[in-house]
Structure 1
Amino acid sequence: MLRRATKGHTVTIELPQQWVSSSYSSNGGNCVAWAPRAAARTGTVPLRDSKDPAGPSLAVPAGAFAAFVAGVSSGALDG
């Protein structure tokens, strides 16, 4: 959503959800997609299965998602 003040009025424009997959997901689409625009706006990170764009999505708190990404990046979550 974009809000812009114009001559004393506020105009609200709904922006479409933009899903992004990792640049490392060159494995045929077996990855998680997320919506950074929504994350910045709401403080929650929408996630979905990139193979099923019409399927359900899950929203997690931005801090939890950041901790997950940090754990993956550092190797702390390697089996």
Structure 2
Amino acid sequence: MRKLVLSMAAAATLLAFPGAGYAQGVYFGPGGVRIDDGRGYDRDERRHWRMCRHLRDACMHKEEYGEEGMGNCRRYRRMCG
């Protein structure tokens, strides 16, 4: 009886506040478990895109930065597609 009352209260709460039920996502995959907190990209994805942006900039302006022959373009193509 106690479990029934508790489950009904939980269901009523989720129906009353539908945003609370969708606030977080849990993903299971080959890389392990990932929890999405609803803020968009996770930390690793943001770090990856930041690195790609830096490598692309270094590749496009290598003459201006004096970084010729550093392998930035090759690394950009390999890691960022």
TM-score normalised according to structure 2 size: 0.22
TM-score normalised according to structure 1 size: 0.23
Q: Which structure shows the bigger proportion of residues in helix conformation?
A: 2
